[in-house]
């Protein structure tokens, strides 16, 4: 038995096959585009996670550097009181003055070990970032713009100013 295929049926089958092929090609292109989009999104998310990790590390480092800022700031009046006591006992000798000196040195060492340093800028050039001028005085033998006297010492914690030094600056007159 021999069956002949109608040319219209063959054309319809061919058209259907071409249509299915085009549909599959379109789906394949769509899937490729989806894969590209998923890869790009994955890369963006990976970069965002990396940035968050770096930010977190930086924030933790900053927290470590300045964890004692509040405590050390509250100790500044203690440093000032000890300085005033030592200045008042300038001509005296004995265990009281020695005790004040030793106490101040120990406190300064603890503060220094925690990243704090004292600003006592007598003779240095005036720096508005670290010094606050309260007055000017004739320069005399000092260079104009230099610090002649310190009324109150300043303090810096890990390069962050806690309190500026209150100073008298040599005028250029």
The pair phi, psi for residue 164, each rounded to 5°, is -75, 155
Q: What is the pLDDT of residue 129?
A: 94
Would you list the DSSP string of 28-42? HHHHHHHHHHHHHHH
Predicted pLDDT of residue 70: 86
Q: What is the largest CA-CA distance in the chain?
A: 134
Three-state secondary structure call for residue 120 = coil
What is the CB-side half-sphere exposure of residue 84 using CA atoms within 13 A?
8
Question: For the domain bounded by 69-171, which CATH number is listed?
Answer: 2.30.22.10
Residue 117: which pLDDT band, with cuts at 50, 70 and 90?
very high
pLDDT in tens, 49-89: 999 999 999 988 888 777 888 888 899 999 999 999 988 88
- Pick from 67, 63, 169, 93: nearest CA to 125: 169
Contact status, residue 159 vs residue 119, Cβ threshold 8 Å = no
pTM of the predicted structure, to 2 decimals: 0.65
What angle, rounded to 10 degrees, do the helices at 69-88 and 95-113 form? 160
Angle value at C-alpha 43, between 37 and 48, nearest 5 degrees? 125
Domain boundaries, the chain: 1-65, 69-171
DSSP state of 141: T
**How confident is the model over 127-152, as pLDDT tens digits?**
999 999 999 988 888 888 899 999 99
Element (H, E) at 118: strand 116-119
Sign of CA dihedral 57, 61, 66, 68: positive
Residue 1 vs residue 169, higher pLDDT? 169
Two tokens, residue 48: 């965002």
């Amino acid at each position: 038995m021999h069956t002949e295929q109608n040319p219209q049926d063959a054309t319809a089958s061919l058209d259907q096959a071409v249509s299915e092929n085009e549909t599959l090609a379109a789906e394949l292109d769509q899937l490729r585009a989806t894969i590209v989009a998923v890869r790009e999104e994955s890369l963006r998310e990976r970069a965002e996670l990396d940035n968050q990790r770096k930010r977190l590390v930086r924030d933790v480092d900053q927290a470590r550097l300045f964890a004692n800022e509040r405590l050390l700031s509250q100790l500044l009046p203690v440093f000032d009181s000890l300085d005033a006591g030592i200045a008042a006992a300038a001509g005296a000798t004995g265990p009281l003055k020695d005790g004040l000196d030793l106490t101040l040195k120990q406190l300064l060492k603890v503060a220094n070990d925690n990243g704090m340093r004292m600003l006592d800028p007598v003779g240095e050039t005036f720096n508005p970032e670290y010094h606050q001028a309260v007055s000017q005085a004739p320069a005399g033998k000092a260079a104009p713009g230099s610090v002649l006297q310190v009324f109150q010492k300043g303090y810096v914690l890990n390069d962050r100013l806690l309190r500026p030094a209150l100073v008298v600056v040599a005028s250029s007159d």
